[in-house]
Structures are given as structure tokens and as C-alpha cells.
Amino acid sequence: MDRDERMQALVQYSRKLEPVPERYRDVDRSEFTVPECQTRVDIFPEYHDGLMHFYADVNVRQSPTVAAVLAIVFAAVNDQTPDVTLGIPVDFVQTLMTGMGLNAREVGLNAMIVRLKRAAADSRSRG
């Protein structure tokens, strides 16, 4: 798959990002915002019955790559134990972005993964 095909696949995958539930529409988002991202991204973690579920609010049209990465990650970790999120490899973003020319996005994407792992670690200490 060449770079253009990979980019097109990411754009298509970005459309799979689950919408943020209404219950998050009016909350103070300051604690959910990932400031390292070039684009506004708010990540909402939930922990119920020993399982994690994440939602993200991001402008899919403006940042399809960010939305796609989150959709890919959420497909793997949502409705799983916190250990699954904590098991995301440290080099996940770098591996995913290799050859796509999106190195400028790595800082923000890595920050999102760190945010997910922090939420998972916090849920383990509560659960």
C-alpha cells in the first residue's frame, strides 16, 4: 500500500469514530483536553464494571488523521479491561505514522495515548 492509499484508508477510518454522548456536551472540558495536540481534542474516559470506554471530540473534517488514529485505538481498547489500554506499545504511534509523512502529529498523538493510559491506570487504582 503506497502513502496515498494509506492516507485514504485513514480518512475512511476516521468516519468510524464514535460520537460523544450528549452527557459530555455541557461539561467543563479543561480536564479532558489534550493540550499537546495541534487540533482541539477532548478525550472522555469511562470506567464501568471493570471495563474502559473512551470517547473523543475532534473535528473529523479538520483532523481526519487524529480521528482515524483514535478510532483505531478505541476499536482495540473500548469495552476491555484497563490492562488492554495499558498494553498499548510505547512505539505504537511511531509505527503507525512511519512512511506517512505525519511526524508533526506524533507529539499530539503520543500525548493522546499517554492520556488513555493515565485514565486506565487511574481506573485500576479505583477498581
82-108 per-position pLDDT tens digit: 999 999 999 888 887 776 666 667 888
Residues 64, 66, 69, CA angle at the centre, nearest 5°? 105
Cell of 122: 487511574
Q: Cell numbers 477498581 label which residue?
A: 127
Domain segments of the chain: what residues?
A: 3-126
Architecture of domain 3-126: Alpha-Beta Complex (3.90)
Q: Which residues pair with 43 in a beta bridge?
A: 56
Q: Are 69 and 54 in contact (CB under 8 A)?
A: no
Predicted structure pTM score: 0.87
Q: Tell me the pLDDT band of 124, cut-offs 50, 70 and 90.
A: confident
